[in-house]
Amino acid sequence: MGLEIDMAVLTQQEQQVVEQFRQLEPRRRRFVLLEMARADADGWKQFQEQGEPRLRELAAQKGLDWNQLDDQQRQDFVEEILDGDGREWSTNDRN
């Protein structure tokens, strides 16, 4: 299950940005996200505070304990959600 964006609430330009972002390689997405976070640190902090509970929920749906994941495992989990490739993810994949 991926994190879905209701495209109906986005402007056409914003929809194009989202589509272009989705076409990037995962490594490049990370660079883009870091640059966006740097450009709007306060907005990013608020996004993180709102997004973490959802990530915890998604992890739990896959049988994972967010608190037991290290930083790399969390990053890999988020990348899988962004990729939307549907493969199963478990902590065993990263050990």
- The pLDDT tens digits of the residues spanning 49-84 come to 778 888 899 899 999 999 999 988 888 888 787 766
Tens of pLDDT, residue by residue over 3-56, are 455 556 778 888 898 889 989 998 898 888 888 888 888 877 777 777 888 889
The answer to whether 64 touches 90, Cβ cutoff 8 Å, is yes
pLDDT at position 86 is: 41
Cβ-Cβ contacts under 8 Å for 74 (sequence gap 6 or more): 55, 66
pLDDT at position 92 is: 43
Count of residues in the chain: 95
pTM: 0.47
pLDDT at position 84 is: 65
- Which residue has better confidence, 89 or 26? 26
